[in-house]
Amino acid sequence: MTLKMDVVGVLGAGQMGRGIAISCLLAGYKTFLYDTQSEVLKSSLQKIEISLNRLCEKNLISKEQITEVLVHLVLCSDLPPLKEANILIEAVPEDYAIKERLFKELSDLLTPSVILASNTSSLSITQLAKFTPYPEKFIGLHFMNPAEIMPLVEIIPGGQTHQSTLETTKLFSESLGKTAVISKDTPGFIVNRLLIPMINEAIDALHLGIATAVDIDKAMKLGANFPQGPLALADMIGLDTCLAILKIMEKECGDPKYTPSPLLAQYVNEGKLGRKTTEGFYKYSLKP
Residues marked active site are found at: 121, 142, 154, 192
Convert 247-263 to b/e letters by CB count within 10 Å (16 or more is b).
bbbbebeeeeebebbeb
Give yes or no for a contact between 149 and 120, defined as CB atoms under 8 angstroms apart: no
In terms of phi and psi (left: phi > 0; alpha: psi -120 to 50; beta: otherwise), the region of 167 is alpha
Euclidean distance between CA atoms 207 and 54, whole angstroms: 35
Q: 3-class SS at 31?
A: strand
The DSSP string of 78-146 is SSGGGGG-SEEEE---S-HHHHHHHHHHHTTT--TT-EEEE--SSS-HHHHHTTSS-GGGEEEEEE-SS
